[in-house]
Amino acid sequence: MAVEMPVVHEGRCLCGDVRYKTLRDPLRVTICHCRLCQRFTGSSYLVEPIFRKQDVVFEGARAKTYEHRSDSSGKRVTLNFCGRCATTLCLDLERFPDILGICGGTFDDPNWFDLARSTYRHIFVRSAQRGVILPAGVDLFAEHALRLDGSANQPTVLAHALAVPKAGYAF
């Protein structure tokens, strides 16, 4: 009888005080263009592999937290960051209590997770910054992929990649 070996991928903050291991592949990878993600990453979007909480193990120093209320859901979004170097490592979402969104750039190898169409999506593209390239063949959502009642929003799938012509782009 074969025993399933965990898929271990490690990551850390800049200084290495807070470290983590993921024990499975992510449930999906979300590219989030919301203003919160733009602000805390200092970039155009967050690359966010989503994991079940039980599949992420933290080591080293305990992360500090900052709580924010989501502009769209009104629910708590907790950013977990290193108290020494201030690297944000993950998001804990009140709206989705069983998952963690890991900040993709904090993995030791930030290219290990798969961006297959079935597990990859862009959300809050209405907030995408001018010049960001939205890919063809991928689910794109103006808002979140799920409505507040849990029902699915309809994605847009482009036939050709598109550079966002202006901030606040809508389909």
pLDDT in tens, the chain (171 residues): 666 666 789 999 999 999 999 999 999 999 999 999 999 999 999 999 999 999 999 999 999 999 999 988 889 999 999 999 999 999 999 999 999 999 999 999 999 988 777 789 999 999 999 999 999 999 999 999 999 999 999 999 999 999 998 766 666
Rounded Cα gap, residues 33 and 47, in angstroms: 9
Triad 24, 61, 112: Cα angle to 5°? 30
Rounded Cα gap, residues 68 and 17, in angstroms: 24
Domains of the chain are 9-163 (2.170.150.70)
